Chains A and B, each alone.
Chain A
Amino acid sequence: QKEVEQNSGPLSVPEGAIASLNCTYSDRGSQSFFWYRQYSGKSPELIMFIYSNGDKEDGRFTAQLNKASQYVSLLIRDSQPSDSATYLCAVNIGTRYGAGSYQLTFGKGTKLSVIP
């Protein structure tokens, strides 16, 4: 069973709209959750992380976590063409392997296209 699931997309939104990206995970013991952005031909870069239930906002980005439903989402407000990229949801399952261990399990990513 896959541990982190995302819709592969592509998700197309018009410029200025809200893009909503979703992710579910299977390990109830997961403690930390991350959203990475990967432009075509580039390496992933972290844009948000969240540890606690609820919302966390950073500029145009809002991460939402619901541990009971094992669900993480990323909202991008006022979407810009420069936001067009693949968004990767990642979960730290390192706690299975002992204190200090750090292993991210990634979803396969959702490709976002922002149409001017």
Chain B
Amino acid sequence: KAGVTQTPRYLIKTRGQQVTLSCSPISGHRSVSWYQQTPGQGLQFLFEYFSETQRNKGNFPGRFSGRQFSNSRSEMNVSTLELGDSALYLCASRLAGAFAGELFFGEGSRLTVL
């Protein structure tokens, strides 16, 4: 079974630009979460989507947004990029249910902001 697929894997942007990252979850997984990983802050929760609805959002500015499509694929967007947005952005999917299962992470999209 295919894993979580994230595209692009690497990208370089300049300050002020915007970026869109894509995530295809494991087939059958309807929950998609996004995390930012940096050496200084570690893994930080951005948001979770389930059935095209954002269920909760982490402590990030409004420049960070996301959405989920009817096929459970998700995108996240960062507008007006800042140097501090340089990070590994990880998408994770899971089976939704009464006892939340494990998160399956994609390999991530590494964003460098110059």
Contact B45 A104 (CB under 8 A): yes
> Total interface residues on B, using CB and 8 Å?
23
**Docked complex: B91-109 residues within 8 A CB-CB of A:** 94, 96, 100, 102-103, 105-108
**Is residue A49 contacting chain B, with contact meaning CB distance below 8 A?**
yes
How far is it, in angstroms, between the C-alpha of A98 and the C-alpha of B41 when the chains are bound?
26
| Number of residue pairs A-B, CB distance < 8 angstroms | 57
Contact A43 B100 (CB under 8 A): no
How far is it, in angstroms, between the C-alpha of A106 and the C-alpha of B108 when the chains are bound?
17
Dominant SS at the A interface?
A: mixed
How far is it, in angstroms, between the C-alpha of A85 and the C-alpha of B14 when the chains are bound?
32
Selected from A32, A46, A49, A106, the residue in CB contact (under 8 A) with B43 is A106
Task: Give me the interface of B with A, judged by CB distance under 8 Å.
Answer: 31, 33, 35, 41-45, 48, 50, 55-56, 58, 90, 94, 96, 100, 102-103, 105-108
Task: Give me the interface of A with B, judged by CB distance under 8 Å.
Answer: 32, 34, 42-46, 49, 88, 90, 92, 94, 97-98, 100-109
